[in-house]
Chains A and B, each alone.
Chain A
Amino acid sequence: MWSKVYDWLDERLGLEDLYKGLLDRPEPHGNWWNTLGSASLFIFIMQGATGIFLTVYYTPSPDHAYDSIQYIMNGVAFGWLIRGIHHWGASLMVLVVFIHLLRVFYTASYKYPRELTWIIGSFLFLLTLGMGFTGYLLPWNQRAYWATTVGTSIAGTVPFIGPFIERALRGGTDISALTLSRFFSAHIWMLPALLTALIGGHLYLIMRHGESQFPELDD
């Protein structure tokens, strides 16, 4: 029965080829440091899942953002768990992605033929920080408000175009409803879309060139 189902699916999906192409690949002898990339991907997926669930109750407006988060934390069953994972996952993701970046640097894995993998990876790192920055405002609490005030003001110090960037980030001169909704949009649509696309590229390049080996004396 199951083998029939498998055969039917295999004929259409090419499961056997997928297995050979994706899973049964040869690799240099592994190392625990090599798991950081997949760990980053794992946290990204966790963040995506918990983030989607948070939007069930979260409301991105100054009137309700704070109250809706209080409700998630205290009113909804397991809301504290979903938000807790999302909150700590954000910190952990920055940490893991950064250590992954350092690992790649120290093993010189960014050199030929993996330069493009590194470039995409550094964008992934910046986007992760962007996710942290935009997500930080969403609870609309004191911490969020003031951190965003300072953060967007930093952008304002850029010569000539700074004040314009600041206004563009804030959606006006103040931290307002417009700031909250554009940060929300960036946090749940734009940045994740970019991240997903770039992660796809990153993974494709890894499969194309294979995982790099740890450098040896003659490398």
Chain B
Amino acid sequence: MNEEYKKKVHKKYEKSLRKGERFWPDSIYKDLLVSFAIFLLLVGLATFIGVKPEPKVDPNDAAYVPRPEWYFLFLFQFLKYFPGSLEWVGAALIPGVAVLSLILLPFLDKNPYRHYSKRKVAITVMSLIVVGIVALTGVAVATTPPQEEVAVAGSISEQIVQGQDLYSVYCVECHGAEGEGGIIQGVEGLEGVELKPISSQDEMYTRNDGSLFDIISYGQPNLGMPPFGTSFGGELPPGDIDALVAFMRYTWDDRAELPPEAAQASAIPALGPDEVPSYEVHIQAISKRYCVSCHRTGKKNNNYLMGTYEDIVSSGDNAPVVVAGDANSILLQVIQRHAVTDANGNEIGVMPPTKELKPEYVDMFVRWVMAGMPETADDAAALATTATAAPEAEATPTP
């Protein structure tokens, strides 16, 4: 680089300044508009797309597909093409050389010209790199399996509600819906085992959240409780166990106050005297809490499942277990503590086996079946209006 070249560069720059503009207000105006557009974009993204909730760290989750942030995806994909022994070439050597050449570019590119037509090599190389990065990113995105959706509780109230749902599925069959314990009935391998209550003051005052977490995660193998945490071969990731602990603590510990939102969200809706219960609003809330722990796949339950409307109405070895309008339906009999026998003469015990349902819940089931088992709240409302409208029409005196 000689002095003459430098002089030429400066002269040319001065010439371009003469037909140029001022930083203020000309450049700043453009900068401002672009910044404002970016600002609107950011606020829009934050408002309308937001940040996707992610589950808490679980180092034992073997099913998780690790992926870096999108701008590192190309590097991630790049590494797939290097066999183990050459890993360092893709991971360290090539990126290292790339970074160094990026930094030292002004010394590597000795070409004195600036116009595109005189920099064909440089422009081609850079364009190929950019195309490569974009292509690698594209391939990485296309080949990434979608991440499994996991329910993520946001607030403590949501956590408590999520915990209650989990408790209803995984714990109720042995510990009872209120953690009351008692003699286990109908659970394979634990038939007749007596459990102490887990919701008592003794339990709640002497076990902190950490202990509760560990008990659920590791189980109590010597007492028959299986491990539930993914760390010990169970099904529940740490976030779910946290939710269970939150549910137990806020529901059973009398020193803690259940947040009103959680109490409201987990309450089983009350039924007015003339209201017709629906699956969606009432029956599901009851079955979810008191029944599904046993009446789900993989449990001893005569193949009667209670997870969905269809299952409740039509599944099971003794199907149909409920018939619209039939007060002698097996389901209604057993929850009213009448043991019945099936077609083969086997006895179907009373349900739930240990602790009977509250009378208002039994009443909801009876009224639901007798009204015709409406699935949605709208169906139920329709039935309610026709039911009340009919006698009215009859009562109208005919002249």
Contacts and interface: CB of A to CB of B under 8 A. Distances in A.
B46 interface: yes
B91 A122 contact: no
B42 interface: yes
A75 B58 contact: no
Contact of B42 (A23, A28, A85): A85
A30 B6 contact: no
Interface in A68-109: 70-71, 73-75, 80-81, 83-85, 87-92, 94-96, 98, 102, 105-108
Nearest to A123: B103
A115 B6 CA distance: 13
Interface in B205-231: none
Interface residues of B, number: 79
Given A74-B154, A84-B45, A158 B92 contact: yes
A184 to B, nearest CB: 15
Given A81-B43, A83-B51, A219-B115, A27 B22 contact: yes
B5 A112 contact: yes
B12 A211 contact: no
A162 B92 CA distance: 9
A159 B103 CA distance: 22
Interface in A129-143: 129, 132-133, 136, 139-143
Contacts of A106: 116, 123, 126
A62 B23 contact: no
A218 B115 contact: yes
Contacts of B16: 28-29, 213
B24 to A, nearest CB: 4
Contacts of B130: 102
A216 interface: yes
Interface stretch (B33-41, B178-186, B308-316, B358-366): B33-41
Contact of B99 (A39, A126, A216): A126
A158 B113 contact: no
B386 to A, nearest CB: 42
Interface residues of A, number: 90
A186 interface: no
A118 B103 CA distance: 7
Name, among B9, B57, B75, B103, the residue most crowded by chain A CB atoms within 10 Å (CB to CB): B57
A92 B56 contact: no
A140 B48 CA distance: 24
B42 A80 contact: no
A216 B53 CA distance: 50
Contact of A142 (B19, B51, B61, B122): B61
A32 B30 contact: yes
Interface string A202-219: 000000001111011111
Given A150-B68, A157-B92, A92 B35 contact: no
Nearest to B65: A146
19 contacts: A27-B22, A27-B26, A28-B13, A29-B21, A35-B30, A35-B31, A42-B35, A70-B153, A80-B50, A81-B46, A84-B47, A88-B45, A90-B69, A102-B130, A111-B114, A123-B103, A144-B57, A147-B67, A175-B59
